[in-house]
């Protein structure tokens, strides 16, 4: 999925041609099938808490790419509940695990959470940013670029969630720093994918 994200980021930035629609949709179907084969959302969940969070994050990553016929992004109350439940687990304090938790929260914030200002979501993002010593949206974005991340989709969610005044206040109180989280002024171009086959 990181390769797909990289291709889409490069195409959107003009560093490569836009993707052929047939190849794009074939890739989405293949990745979606692999996610379902690994674990269905309504079936048994992976026993490893980290594997469960990674799987839920990857499903969340796919959500904005899978449009309905009316052009809207599908919603999934089940996915919302599974992510929220998974975030109640103790993941330990190692840096890579904390990054994966933050990535899942932000990717899901772009697609799954219809109420992005949920207190639990902002609290979890704030705590995770603090444990990773990330103080700005730019630092978060640089860290998240190691994972499947589409700038025009997930970058906006990152700016929205990390730029919340409430989160900024919470982080300042937790970290003892002065309001360092701000929403940068960035022009976002629409995701460009060729529709001609």
Tens of pLDDT along the chain (197 residues) come to: 888 899 888 988 899 998 888 989 899 999 999 999 999 999 999 999 999 999 999 999 999 888 777 878 888 899 999 999 999 888 777 899 999 999 999 999 888 886 656 788 888 888 899 999 998 888 998 999 899 999 888 888 888 877 654 444 444 444 443 333 333 332 333 333 333 33
Rounded to whole angstroms, the Cα distance separating 76 from 73 reads: 10
* Cβ within 8 Å of residue 147, ≥6 positions away: 2, 57, 99, 100, 103, 107
Q: Is 120 within the bounds of a domain? A: yes
Q: Is 195 within the bounds of a domain? A: no
Rounded to whole angstroms, the Cα distance separating 113 from 48 reads: 23
Look up the pTM and report it: 0.78
Q: Is 181 within the bounds of a domain? A: no
Q: Considering its fold, how many domains does the chain have in total?
A: 1
93 is in which domain, residue-wise?
2-175
Q: Is 7 within the bounds of a domain? A: yes
Rounded to whole angstroms, the Cα distance separating 111 from 9 reads: 18
Q: Is 105 within the bounds of a domain? A: yes
Rounded to whole angstroms, the Cα distance separating 113 from 51 reads: 20
Q: Is 188 within the bounds of a domain? A: no
């Amino acid at each position: 999925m990181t390769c797909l994200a990289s291709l889409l980021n490069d195409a959107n930035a003009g560093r490569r041609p836009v993707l052929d629609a047939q190849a794009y949709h074939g890739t989405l179907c293949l990745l979606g099938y692999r996610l379902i084969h690994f674990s269905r959302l309504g079936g048994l969940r992976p026993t490893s808490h980290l594997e469960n969070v990674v799987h839920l994050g990857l499903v969340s990553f796919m959500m904005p790419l899978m449009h309905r016929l009316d052009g809207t992004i599908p919603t999934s109350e089940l996915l919302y509940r599974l992510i929220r439940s998974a975030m109640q687990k103790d993941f330990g304090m190692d840096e890579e695990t904390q990054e994966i938790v933050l990535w899942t929260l932000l990717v899901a914030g772009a697609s799954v959470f219809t109420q992005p200002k949920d207190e639990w979501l902002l609290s979890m993002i704030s705590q995770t940013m603090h444990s990773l010593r990330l103080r700005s949206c730019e630092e978060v974005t640089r860290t998240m670029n190691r994972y499947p991340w589409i700038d025009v989709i997930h970058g906006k969610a990152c700016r929205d969630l990390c730029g919340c005044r409430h989160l900024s206040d919470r982080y300042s109180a937790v970290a003892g720093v002065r309001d360092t989280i701000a929403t940068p002024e960035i022009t976002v171009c629409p995701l460009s994918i060729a529709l001609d086959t």
